Chain A
């Protein structure tokens, strides 16, 4: 059984990668470039240089977190499609902290930012959880619509009262620069930052809770049959709000980490849709932590390759969306391969 599962997982990843590579080649051919040479370039850049590889790992971080923000609520049958908005709100509250308390010492600042990022995203998602728990509106539609409100809140502040007045920086709508103490540490002479450690720890904790504790069992029971769980005397409402809070908090951490570690400023529209990608990664991985890691890596690789293509070959960035969609369609269609039993 285990063996077959492994084989299936490998097969799944293989198919996804193959499709990605084929589409990548087709796109290049259309652009009039030599796909083989470009492919060799990309692979030697991503896997042959530490810089290239570390950039892919860096891109994984928000994907890991937003995917977990979907996987966790899905265990109790909740559909969180609001990772994008929660990510923005985490970044928003963290930036508020930096602007309000700019002189905190380094040892305090980072934990403070982590807390704020978590609370910002968490509160945003808990609102949707609360509406759902009271039976007012379904969390799918709430989280979807709230994705469009959160970036407007960011826009309101970075174009308004938070806008940096520093010479040179004020040309762009962005906040003041975070002080050095408020920048998440980076490792290994690369842009891989503390967010990676946080994401991997959270994924491990998620795995542990779901597989090894009574909590996980309870959550699975609620997700499997909420009506039965209610009859058995489980209070479902607090679970819904709590799970949404934690999930949103995790997505909020992604936003906080991007802003603090990479840009050092809050900018309008800094996320290229990480929250939506996280949803699809979590779905493709079936909510399994280890598969979330590998799927995130594949998508981050495509993302990096796409950025490279955009810069070197002038392929529009939106083409990456098409590429990802094609991969996902193949996964969704569950193709039957000759000789493989499902």
Chain B
């Protein structure tokens, strides 16, 4: 145990927490508008493979990230169409989206299995290099990492400090009242889904482009579902989801560090840590949690007759 170990742990926590934060923020927006989406896993996968493939093809990771965001938004438009226009079941629509996303990502990514990329450029925070025990890797991150907390702040501002956010939350809380107050429910729900898709695509792309720097089928490993758990953990609040994402990032990093150190524990047991921890955290912090959920979460709004 030395500074290097803690330094790696901290930087890993941040790096692995960031994609999850983007996904969780997207899910918070969508659920605030009353929609539970089990397809986040598919969105992330599609973002990861599209992002990686486009980075290789275009030679520029930012084009990859842009295309991934677009792919995520397009995919989530299908979900929005089904649950908003066709009044379809949210659970079944989400699950189907998961199937589509995983299928599409496998087909898109197949020619790129084994390809390597340079990843995103990392920038060191100025000044910190002067602190003696700070290692080089510790405070050197890509732009998406630096933008993660500002994004959470932006989502908070959007949801709680703008008229748009108020309308969005009203739709998720009580769609009939929102409708009576003259809000366009369908447009609001669509906009929330598009934002969720954009963020989910970015989350997936950050995973494949900046973290893994490779594409493997099913590489998100349930992060889309973990994001759903973190939404509950953070009580549908964008700023609290930062802590949830860091917690998960810490669990993943700890597991990887233990594996790298050859701690003699089976990698299968170590791989369980993030999932078990997520469940444990939900158990411990349960209680009055359900009252924090948007009132009309998961319900189908069938319009006013």
Using a CB–CB cutoff of 8 Å, the interface residues on chain A facing chain B are 79, 81, 131, 135-138, 140-142, 144-149, 152-153, 155-156, 159-160, 276, 279-280, 283-284, 316-326, 328-329, 332-334
Beta-carbon contact of A332 and B275 below 8 Å: no
Q: Which of B103, B106, B217 has the most chain A CB within a 10 Å cutoff?
A: B103
Beta-carbon contact of B268 and A318 below 8 Å: no
Query: Which residue of B86, B102, B268 contacts A321 across the interface (Cβ within 8 Å)?
Result: B102
Beta-carbon contact of B91 and A144 below 8 Å: no
Q: Which residues of B contact A152 (CB under 8 A)?
A: 268-269, 271-272
Q: Which of A155, A159, A316, A321 has the most chain B CB within a 10 Å cutoff?
A: A321
Given contacts A81-B38, A145-B275, A332-B88, contact A280 B82 (CB under 8 A): no
Beta-carbon contact of A131 and B283 below 8 Å: yes
Beta-carbon contact of A324 and B99 below 8 Å: yes
Beta-carbon contact of B97 and A325 below 8 Å: yes
- Bound Cα distance A91, B82 (Å): 36
The reply to whether the CB of B107 lies closer than 8 angstroms to some CB of chain A is yes
Beta-carbon contact of B96 and A160 below 8 Å: no
Beta-carbon contact of B96 and A325 below 8 Å: yes
Beta-carbon contact of B95 and A279 below 8 Å: yes
Beta-carbon contact of B275 and A322 below 8 Å: no
The reply to whether the CB of B98 lies closer than 8 angstroms to some CB of chain A is yes
Residue of A nearest to B85 (CB): A333
Residue of A nearest to B276 (CB): A149
- In the A-B complex, the 4 residue pairs with the closest CB atoms: A321-B103, A318-B106, A325-B100, A322-B103
Residue of A nearest to B286 (CB): A136
The reply to whether the CB of B148 lies closer than 8 angstroms to some CB of chain A is no
Give the interface segment out of B1-9, B63-71, B155-163, B223-231. B223-231
- Bound Cα distance A29, B88 (Å): 32
Given contacts A137-B283, A316-B110, A332-B92, contact A160 B102 (CB under 8 A): no
Beta-carbon contact of B229 and A141 below 8 Å: yes
Query: Which residue of A135, A136, A332 contacts B89 across the interface (Cβ within 8 Å)?
Result: A332
Beta-carbon contact of B225 and A141 below 8 Å: yes
Residue of A nearest to B103 (CB): A321
Q: Which residues of B contact A328 (CB under 8 A)?
A: 92, 96, 99
- Bound Cα distance A179, B228 (Å): 43
Residue of A nearest to B91 (CB): A79
Beta-carbon contact of B221 and A148 below 8 Å: yes
- Bound Cα distance A149, B217 (Å): 18
Interface SS majority for chain B: helix
Q: Which residues of B contact A146 (CB under 8 A)?
A: 275, 279
The reply to whether the CB of B185 lies closer than 8 angstroms to some CB of chain A is no
- Bound Cα distance A66, B220 (Å): 24
The reply to whether the CB of B149 lies closer than 8 angstroms to some CB of chain A is no
The reply to whether the CB of B80 lies closer than 8 angstroms to some CB of chain A is no
Beta-carbon contact of B88 and A318 below 8 Å: no
- Bound Cα distance A133, B209 (Å): 42
- Some 11 contacts from A to B, beta carbons below 8 A apart, are A81-B91, A136-B286, A138-B232, A159-B266, A160-B268, A280-B95, A280-B99, A322-B100, A325-B103, A329-B82, A333-B81
Residue of A nearest to B218 (CB): A318
The reply to whether the CB of B214 lies closer than 8 angstroms to some CB of chain A is no
Q: Which residues of B contact A280 (CB under 8 A)?
A: 92, 95-96, 99
Using a CB–CB cutoff of 8 Å, the interface residues on chain B facing chain A are 38, 78, 81-82, 86, 88-89, 91-93, 95-100, 102-107, 110, 217, 221-222, 225-226, 228-229, 232, 266, 268-269, 271-272, 275-276, 278-279, 282-283, 286, 290
Beta-carbon contact of B104 and A322 below 8 Å: yes
Beta-carbon contact of A329 and B38 below 8 Å: no
Query: Which residue of B38, B268, B272, B286 contacts A137 across the interface (Cβ within 8 Å)?
Result: B286
Given contacts A148-B275, A334-B86, contact A283 B92 (CB under 8 A): yes
Beta-carbon contact of B282 and A321 below 8 Å: no
Residue of B nearest to A143 (CB): B225
Residue of A nearest to B293 (CB): A138
- Bound Cα distance A329, B96 (Å): 7
Given contacts A276-B95, A318-B217, A333-B86, contact A149 B275 (CB under 8 A): yes
Q: Which residues of B contact A142 (CB under 8 A)?
A: 279
- Bound Cα distance A231, B102 (Å): 44
Given contacts A137-B286, A145-B225, contact A156 B268 (CB under 8 A): yes
Q: Which residues of B contact A160 (CB under 8 A)?
A: 266, 268
Q: Which residues of B contact A317 (CB under 8 A)?
A: 106
Residue of A nearest to B98 (CB): A276
- Bound Cα distance A284, B93 (Å): 11
CB distance from B76 to the nearest CB of A (A): 13
CB distance from B218 to the nearest CB of A (A): 9
Beta-carbon contact of B226 and A325 below 8 Å: no
Beta-carbon contact of A320 and B38 below 8 Å: no
Residue of A nearest to B86 (CB): A333
Query: Which residue of B232, B268, B279, B290 contacts A153 across the interface (Cβ within 8 Å)?
Result: B268
Q: A136-B286, A156-B268 are in contact. List 13 more A-B contacts (CB 8 A).
A: A136-B283, A137-B232, A141-B282, A144-B228, A145-B229, A149-B275, A152-B268, A155-B268, A280-B92, A283-B95, A321-B102, A329-B96, A332-B82
